[in-house]
Amino acid sequence: MRKLLNNPWFVAVLALVALGGVAWPVLFPETSYPAPVAHGEPAVVDESAPETSAEGEAPSRLSVAAALKALVIPSTVRDPFALPPKPVVLRPVAVGTAVEVVERLRLSAVWVQGAAVYLLLNGRICQPGDAVERFTVETAAVEGAWIRHAGARSFLPVGQEWVVTTSAPGPQLPLSP
Report the CATH architecture of 98-169.
Answer: Roll (2.30)
Highest-confidence range of 60-64, 72-76, 141-145, by mean pLDDT? 141-145
Closest CA to 132 of 95, 154, 107: 107
Q: Kindly tell me the number of DSSP H helices and DSSP E strands found in the chain.
A: 3, 8
Say how many CA atoms lie within 13 Å of 126 toward its Cβ. 28
Above 60 in pLDDT, residue 153? Answer: yes
**Domains of the chain, residue spans:** 1-31, 98-169
Segment of 31-35, 54-58, 80-84, 123-127 carrying the highest mean pLDDT: 123-127
* 123: exposed, middle or buried (Cβ count in 10 Å: 0-12, 13-18, 19+): middle
Averaged over 98-125, what is the pLDDT? 87
Query: How are strands ordered across the β-sheet holding 152-157?
Result: 131-132, 135-141, 144-149, 152-157
Predicted TM-score (pTM) of this structure = 0.41
Which of the pair, 142 or 73, is modelled with greater confidence? 142
